[in-house]
A and B are shown apart, each in its own frame.
Chain A
Amino acid sequence: GAGQRNITSFFGKH
């Protein structure tokens, strides 16, 4: 939905 962030934008990919 609008305004929902993705978890990947906080936790970097290994």
Chain B
Amino acid sequence: MFEARLVQGNLLKKVVDAVKDLVTDANFDCSSSGFTLQAMDNSHVSLVSLSLRSDGFEHFRCDRNMSMGMSLGNLAKILKCAGNDDIVTMKAADDGDTVTFMFESPKEDRVSDFELKLMDIDSEHLGIPDTDYAATVTLPAAEYQRICRDLSSIGDTVVISATKDGVKFSSSGDVGTANITVRQNTTADKKEEQVSIDLKEPVALTFALRYLNSFAKATPLASHVSLSMARDLPVMVDYQISDMGHLRFYLAPKIED
């Protein structure tokens, strides 16, 4: 059987809220090492990769590797019924066709359980190669969200270029053009405002803003987000989930005409 108890239950809610608009149905894979998900969006342009390590759960038991297909919309509906401070426990039998979510209030005065029907989902697992990225910028997650939102009002695509001067986000459209540059700032008073840039060589790539905007729905999960780029390769947008794992998005670049 599978059983996992997460004291910070709202973390699961944040994860599902972050991906449910990008991916409708997905398989959650459970093994003794943890709880993972890999799924592409419907257009197969981006890939979501979630990893929650077993040691991040208060209790984790998985006797046999299993894949649980879920509608993320339905899962979000169920998780919405959990209190913000509730402890969430997931349970599933090895051969069952449901997964149960149990919500316990911190004062232990309210317990509820919701059963979600599992579904058969044909999904392809992609191999994500280890990549030596040319540039990685780590910036406040809220700043990334703002850049994507602001540029979306100007154009449909963004050119992200990393040079020794900083990382520039440029967009253009009928309205005009916009450039936003973030520079390294590791001495900001507040840690949550720090920006760090790791540049091995300059790189510039073009991406659809629609997807980058969608990834920003993961903002509540982490104070910072990292964008890693290499020439002619998908960008990796990485939200670290403290003490547990990560939620990563990969987006294929656009090719200049």
Contact = CB atoms under 8 A, between A and B. Distances in A.
Interface in B148-190: 156
A13 B124 contact: yes
Contact of A12 (B44, B127, B156, B254): B127
| Contact residues of A: prevailing secondary structure | loop
A10 B255 contact: no
* Interface footprint category on A: 10 to 19
Contacts of A8: 40, 44, 124, 126
Interface in A1-14: 1-14
A11 B126 contact: yes
A5 to B, nearest CB: 4
Contacts of A2: 257
Contacts of B250: 7, 10-11
B127 A10 contact: no
Interface in B106-162: 124-129, 156
Nearest to A5: B252
A8 B47 CA distance: 9
B126 A14 contact: yes
A1 B208 CA distance: 9
B125 A14 contact: yes
A7 B47 contact: yes
Given A10-B234, A10-B252, A11-B129, A3 B124 contact: no
Contact of B45 (A4, A12, A13, A14): A4
Closest 4 CB pairs of A and B: A11-B126, A5-B252, A14-B125, A3-B255
Interface of B: 40, 43-47, 124-129, 156, 206, 208, 233-234, 250-257
19 contacts: A1-B156, A1-B208, A1-B254, A2-B257, A3-B254, A4-B45, A4-B254, A4-B255, A5-B252, A5-B253, A6-B44, A7-B250, A7-B251, A8-B44, A10-B250, A12-B126, A12-B127, A13-B124, A13-B127
Interface of A: 1-14
